[in-house]
Chain A
Amino acid sequence: MTFGLACCAIEMMATAMARFDIDRFGAGIFRATPRQSDLMIVAGTVTKKMAPTVVTLYEQMPSPKWVIALGNCAISGGPFVFEGQYNLVEGVDLLIPVDVYVPGCPPRPEGLLEGLMKIEEKITGKRRFPVPDKRW
């Protein structure tokens, strides 16, 4: 489902677009309603005001369901964590169970695709796709 919160949403869109084409894996249909989604990609900062909505949306999804935390903000609050911060949930995994983390600020589209494969690996137990060379 489309759940763009912030900067990373743009990269999420980029992943769906012609250059990277997430639809090749059959994951191309971004549904707007939680009822028809399997995977929630939390792309961006989750604020305390947003948190109840995130939880509701997660609960509205029919199981089996998965969650990707895309970007540093969704993983841990990212660069917006500082002492005395008052409006940030420091990681979406405090609210809902997260299956795969894709770090970066924002992550490249390849990161999201990699996350998708990680999800598949987690479900099926093996990786169908070749592992691209690790770059240092």
Chain B
Amino acid sequence: MTDVLKIAVEAIGQDTLRVILGLIGVLILVVINALMLTWAERKVAGHMQRRIAAKEVGPFGLIQPIADSLKLLGKELITPMKVDRVLYFLAPVICFIPVLVSFVVIPFGEGLQVRDINVGILVILAFSSLSVLSIFIAGWGSNNKYSLIGAARSVAQNIAYEVPLLLSLLIVVIMVGSLSLKDIVEAQKGMWFILYQPIAFLIYFIAGVAETNRTPFDLPEAESELVAGFHTEYSGMRFAIFFLAEYTNIMIISAVATTFFLGGYLGPYLPGIVWFLIKTYFLVFVILWFRWTFPRVRFDQLLNFSWKILIPVSFINLIVTGGILKL
């Protein structure tokens, strides 16, 4: 049996047990993070609008997200009549996979990483494309015109913004010479990459906000235009999973930005994980801040912005960086 395990381990990777435990940890983290963020979103929104927001349920309204999720659990699961059942059920599930997988490779602290894969960043990028797929399936399966428009928008948006996102991360990969997230963090011991590559950071962050479908790029669910976009027909727990995935995506985008540009878990005095969380949640706060400040861009402007500004700029950045590194 040990023999088998050894070979299994050899075949799959390292320590299966560690991965499984890590996955459970990640799951808990994902849920807690999403709950926290719904609360934070309300509070940030509230205070930016000079009101209190969630307050009456629990101290500072901290119990509110739990109460909400319990409520959503208790809701009736409606399956609308004309939906494509398989796709309708599948979409929230698919939506959740990339979220889980991405967390596996993110280094939360020194040694606090579920699994250091030597193609780590590729894992995140590869699986993040799945979330588009889930939006597409949700939109298609819902048999609702608003959902379908939302899905179409989402697909186009993701194609457009995946490119600058990749290119700006590629710059850092070139500088480090490794695809492993741990190596990237370790390479920033002297200086954070944001100081070398502010433009890349900006492009990554903008594209990241677009990838998570947040304002000002929240076209797939643009409320004033498409009611609720791709999840118009979803209710109860299925809707909650979309919600969960959205907030976790924000977290991932911020976490990757932290790892790539802000020195990850590096920082004086405090333990690594604290630094990591501080940096990540600061970026999350900025994303929330965006949402409660800006109006939404228009669809064609969104695409033009990516194709005409972000992609050329990041190409130039890439070429210049490559040239400087070789010289």
Q: How many whole Å from A29's CB to the nearest CB in chain B?
A: 8
Q: Is the interface of A mostly helix, strand, loop or mixed?
A: loop
- Please encode chain B, from 40 to 81, with 1 for each CB lying within 8 Å of some chain A CB and 0 for all others: 001000100111111111000100100110010011111010
A-B contact count (CB 8 A): 74
Flag if B51 contacts A62 (CB, 8 Å): no
- Please encode chain A, from 12 to 26, with 1 for each CB lying within 8 Å of some chain B CB and 0 for all others: 000001110101111
A62 in contact with B77 given A33-B227, A36-B239 (CB within 8 Å)? yes
Flag if B54 contacts A26 (CB, 8 Å): yes
Flag if A17 contacts B235 (CB, 8 Å): no
Q: Is the interface of B mostly helix, strand, loop or mixed?
A: loop
Indicate whether B314 reaches chain A with its CB closer than 8 angstroms: no
Contacts of A33 in B (CB 8 A): 227-228, 232-233
Contacts of B54 in A (CB 8 A): 23-24, 26, 28
Flag if A25 contacts B53 (CB, 8 Å): no
Flag if B228 contacts A24 (CB, 8 Å): no
Flag if B68 contacts A26 (CB, 8 Å): yes
Indicate whether A131 reaches chain B with its CB closer than 8 angstroms: no
- State the interface size on chain B (CB cutoff 8 A): 32
Indicate whether B204 reaches chain A with its CB closer than 8 angstroms: no
Flag if B42 contacts A23 (CB, 8 Å): yes
Cα distance, A63 to B55, chains bound together (Å): 26
Indicate whether B234 reaches chain A with its CB closer than 8 angstroms: yes
Cα distance, A23 to B64, chains bound together (Å): 10
Residues of B within 8 A of A (CB): 42, 46, 49-57, 61, 64, 67-68, 71, 74-78, 80, 223, 227-228, 231-236, 239
